Amino acid sequence: MQYSYHDLNHVYQGEIYGIQVFGAAAKLTWKIDDKKKWLRLQQLEIQTLERVEQHFNKINKSLPSVEWYGAYGKYKGRIDGAALGLLPWKLAMRFLYWGSKKSQPIYHRLKELALSDEDKQFFGYILAHEKSIEYFAKSELFNQKDSLIEVNRLLEAHK
């Protein structure tokens, strides 16, 4: 494969980080409804990490060292998640929105450079995953109902 090692690692490490962020935010959020939303986002991260691991194994791409990134990503994710869980909801959603937008150029690039239809489909899923988080945050910012509709669609479609 001719993909950037940095880009592929970003995909993998982003899921480890996201699992920790959403889990920590759920633990520290006071409102039950918000806690459920954080946990639903965490479910998406877990499902996506499983798909990333399966795809990387299929293409014989070695995964980054979990020992090194595990320590860094998990602690950074927990700290960032704690902050999101304690911040006012609207401010947390702004940070979540900005964070999801920041990674999307990488996922667009990977999808565009896909060497096979299978890779194009996989990176399309990764991009849809990130866009579903963006949609959630934006919907929450504007008090729209069904903010989790895209997240739920991905979770149900890829059980």
Q: Which pLDDT score is estimated for 65?
A: 59
- Asked whether the beta carbons of 111 and 120 are under 8 A apart, the reply is yes
Domains of the chain: 5-157 (1.20.1260)
Q: Which pLDDT score is estimated for 62?
A: 65
Question: In angstroms, rounded to a whole number, what is the distance separating the alpha carbons of residues 94 and 83?
Answer: 13
Residue type, 119: D
Q: Which pLDDT score is estimated for 142?
A: 96
Q: Using a CB cutoff of 8 Å and minimum separation of 24, what contacts does 86-89 make?
A: 86/28, 89/31, 89/34, 89/140
Q: Which pLDDT score is estimated for 48?
A: 96
Q: What are phi and psi of 31, to 5 degrees?
A: -80, 130
Q: Which pLDDT score is estimated for 156?
A: 95
In tens, the pLDDT along 100-135 reads 999 999 999 999 998 899 999 999 999 999 999 999
Q: What are phi and psi of 64, to 5 degrees?
A: -60, 160
Question: In angstroms, rounded to a whole number, what is the distance separating the alpha carbons of residues 48 and 68?
Answer: 21
Q: Which stretches of the chain score pLDDT less than 50?
A: 1
Residue type, 147: S
Q: Which pLDDT score is estimated for 130?
A: 97
Tokens for 118, please give them.
Answer: 């299978």
